[in-house]
Chains A and B, each alone.
Chain A
Amino acid sequence: MAEPLLQIEGLSAGYGDVRVLWDISLAVEPGEIACIVGSNGAGKTTLLCTISGLVRASSGHVRMAGEDITATSVDQILERGIAHVPEGRRLFRGLSVRDNLMLGAYLRRDNAGIARDLDYVYSLFPILRERQRQDATTLSGGEQQMCAVGRGIMSRPKLLMIDELSLGLAPMLVERLSEALLEINRSGITVLLVEQDVMTAFEVARHGFVIETGRVGMCGATKDLAEDPAIRQAYLGM
């Protein structure tokens, strides 16, 4: 088996006195789409924040392509190829769609490459090209999510982490975004998707990790997880 792109070993983290993650271990293979599912408040967002360096790990390791990045700063981690699309889009108010996308490429200096990737984002989500001069926060929810994902791609990451792709979106839009995600993945970017909507996550991802109260409860191929009676009971309502 090839070396995993992202490998997490025994990771614990939290805020102040409150520990949120307990001894998390998981691995994401290069080229795949993996997902992390679990209920509200289970620690999924904290896990992504710890990977991207926003939250400090109290113990354990995060490795990217074999390199330990646990104590690395946020910008360094982005430089190593991990982009994090945060929960709730978090687009910059007062800046246009184009400026928001360009901020995704903040660390890059290859103007030709940036222009090419901007074109790629626009081809992926043509509506963004139409609206490129508009204040990004005036877009509809679905368009904002497209912009947020596009902004993530603009750093040309090896691994794209998306927190709650489907949050607050109509099912049709979720489907549209899922297709785009598959397209992005085909272009060679590994994806780690965090979702509360287990159905959507299992549909697009190959491997899944179930997080319960800050621990990895179950993991495996999503098609197996979808058949697991406990998961069907707890998350699929069947």
Chain B
Amino acid sequence: MTVSLLSLDAVSKNFGGNHAVSNVSFTLKEGEIVGLIGPNGAGKTTLVNVITGVQRASSGRICFGDLDVTEQRPYQAARRGLARTFQIVQPFPAMTVLENVAAGALFGGAQSSRAEATDVARKNLEFVGLAGFADRPASALTLAGRKRLELAKSLAMQPKLLMLDEVNAGLNASEIDGALTLIRKIAERGITILVIEHLMKVVMSLAQRLLVLHHGQLIADGVPTDIVDDPRVIEAYLGGKFAERLKGIRQHG
């Protein structure tokens, strides 16, 4: 019997009169890879912000394990094992790549000394394939490199749950393949992963389960093969015209 790691109960987030996230409930089980998809502006990033305490939920309850974490601050989330990467990467630009990752290990992970943190950082840099750049400033990395750096930093925090916000954005096809392989390897370590993507294709092969967000509402929660056939999802995600066309293609092909 798998245990629930993260559960959201009727979580909403309003900005003024704008319901960025409304009444979202779902559960992540330990060891799962779950995709959170939805068109741009659907509220995916807001939802992640609410889970990690960057923004406070307007209503609802968030539990991490047995702990109510609705009111937590971001640094507490990090220490409890809720790590995330950012859609727009957020390195410490003037620090070296190694220091960036060591910061994750020292403050978010269990390391107590800077030397230990540096060791952990090195291992994680190797894991994501950035070992050769350890002593370069983070600002000198390419976009793909920065994404890997974000990943290494998050891993150094020894998370139980890793939320990847558009890790593949801006990468080319072969880089995406590399990233997907990496994500699978992370999952093998037993880390639960929530992949946030606006491109459906990327998560299809990766996730065991998909959550679909549209205009702040969770409109579907199920296995990928069911999700792609769900007319509501197709409509919301691809627009009515495209949905019709897709139907046409399916009928002919």
Contacts and interface: CB of A to CB of B under 8 A. Distances in A.
A196 interface: yes
Contacts of B175: 213
A12 to B, nearest CB: 14
A40 interface: yes
B223 interface: no
Interface string A1-43: 0000000000000001111100000000000000000011111
B249 A39 contact: no
B184 to A, nearest CB: 20
B242 A233 contact: no
B169 interface: yes
A199 B246 contact: no
Contacts of B65: none
Interface residues of B, number: 29
Nearest to A238: B249
Nearest to B204: A237
Contacts of A39: 168-170, 199
A112 interface: no
Contact of A17 (B40, B139, B144, B249): B139
Contacts of B238: 199, 237
Contacts of B10: none
B115 interface: no
A229 interface: no
Contacts, number: 65
B122 to A, nearest CB: 23
B193 to A, nearest CB: 19
A167 interface: yes
B171 interface: yes
Contacts of B173: 212, 234
Contacts of B172: 212-213
B40 A168 contact: yes
B240 interface: yes
B187 interface: no
Contact of A41 (B169, B239, B241): B169
A16 to B, nearest CB: 6
A212 B198 CA distance: 16
B239 A171 contact: yes
Given A41-B170, A42-B170, A16 B139 contact: yes
A199 B140 contact: no
A174 interface: yes
Contacts of B142: 18-19
A17 B168 CA distance: 21
B239 A237 contact: no
B166 A40 contact: yes
B21 to A, nearest CB: 14
Interface in B192-239: 198-201, 238-239
Given A167-B40, A168-B41, A174-B239, A40 B201 contact: no
Interface of B: 39-41, 87, 139-144, 166, 168-173, 175, 198-201, 238-242, 246, 249
Given A18-B143, A172-B240, A212-B172, 6 more contacts: A40-B166, A40-B169, A41-B143, A42-B170, A175-B241, A234-B201
Interface of A: 16-20, 39-43, 141, 167-169, 171-172, 174-175, 196-197, 199-200, 203, 212-213, 233-234, 237-238
23 contacts: A18-B139, A18-B141, A18-B142, A18-B143, A20-B143, A39-B168, A41-B143, A41-B166, A41-B169, A41-B170, A42-B170, A167-B40, A168-B39, A168-B40, A168-B41, A174-B239, A196-B198, A199-B239, A199-B241, A200-B239, A213-B143, A233-B201, A238-B249
The 9 closest A-B pairs by CB, nearest first: A41-B170, A168-B41, A40-B169, A171-B239, A41-B169, A213-B172, A212-B172, A199-B242, A17-B140
